[in-house]
Amino acid sequence: MLNREDTLANWKDLAGNLEFTNDEIFGHFARQSSPAESVLTEWMISRKGELGELIRSFEENEMYACLDELKVAIEGELNLSKLSE
């Protein structure tokens, strides 16, 4: 979702809000085929990112389409967990 054309420009702001350095943003991540996905993967795995922090960052960057997608994904996970009970 973050790599859609309408949200692609915001990935650098998102990375900054998630406390990545300019060297990481304009160096490593900028060279990736999917920079936003790379930012989120690194943030989730290496930095043990929390959902609330991601939501705040989406809100600060006015990434409402991403918030909508996140809501759909969470609701989907909740529905799947109910089915497996």
Q: For 9-47, how does the pLDDT look when each residue is reduced to its tens digit (9 = 90+)? A: 678 888 998 899 999 999 999 999 888 889 989 998 988
Q: CB within 8 A of 3, min separation 6: which ones?
A: 11, 34, 35, 36, 37
pTM of the predicted structure, to 2 decimals: 0.68
10: three-class secondary structure by DSSP: coil
Sign, CA torsion 57/59/61/68: positive
**pLDDT > 70: percent of the chain:** 82
Lowest mean pLDDT among 7-16, 33-42, 53-62, 75-84: 75-84
Query: For position 22, which CATH number holds?
Result: 1.10.533
* Mean pLDDT, all residues of the chain: 82
Give me the number of domains the chain comprises: 1
Q: How far is CA 59 from CA 35, 63, 80, in A?
A: 19, 6, 27
In this predicted model, which residue has the larger pLDDT, 66 or 80? 66
The residue range of the domain holding 21 is 5-83
A 10 A CB-CB count for 56 gives 13
